[in-house]
Structure 1
Amino acid sequence: MNNLGLLTFLASPLKWCYLLTLGDAMKTTAIEKPHLPGTVTVKLAPSDRDRIASLAIMKKRTPHYLMKEAILEYVQREEARQNFLKAADTSFEHYKETGLHITLDEFGAWVDDVQKNPDAPIAACHT
């Protein structure tokens, strides 16, 4: 199987689902049969399947492509959010340990300066 991905649309009297293969980007061990390596099962309501199918036709893409892109964009966004929160926590811990900071007025003045001169240096931290 290649890393481009595979989409299988399964229909049974009891359930509908898309099976997405995301290559090495995402793997799972809890998969309903049939078991395909690197496959993720996404259960969708019929109305959501229809919306995805309609959008895929309009964009001249496959439903698999749209779902894969949506998942990867979500993961990227959430990873960035988690990195931001971690950086904020680290910064706050550093402040608590050292007391180094700049005031809101100093920050505001720097923002004004940057609009005129993009290379304007930020104010030095102090206690």
Structure 2
Amino acid sequence: MPRKHFINVVQKSVAFSKYYATVLTDKAEGGKITLGPRELYKTNKQDINLAPNEVKEVTITIDISKFDAELSSEMINGYFVDGFVHFDTNDGLQNALSIPFLGFKGKFADLEWKL
């Protein structure tokens, strides 16, 4: 997953109690996409604090290798993996900040489109 840069532009420290990613894909049943999400997993939660005007780089690694065989058999033309990187604050505000991500495993150019 690409790196994200965080910049604190306010004049006080910002403390997130944790950041983590929720990794999703499409739910499939009987060889058909159900148009609902399937949560694959959540990454470990990590702490981050930002001083005034501080810039930090955060890297989150997403590994879907243990799901690949199953997802490839359910969605033979490839599958999307998406989700959110979440940041919760020390004062208990959940999802104070969330950043979406999206990826595709397969040959996107070879997909057949029906309109």
Range of TM-score over shorter length: under 0.3
Query: Normalising to structure 2: TM-score of the pair?
Result: 0.19
TM-score (norm 1): 0.17
Higher relative contact order (CA 8 A, sep 6+): 2
Q: Flag the structure with larger Rg.
A: 1
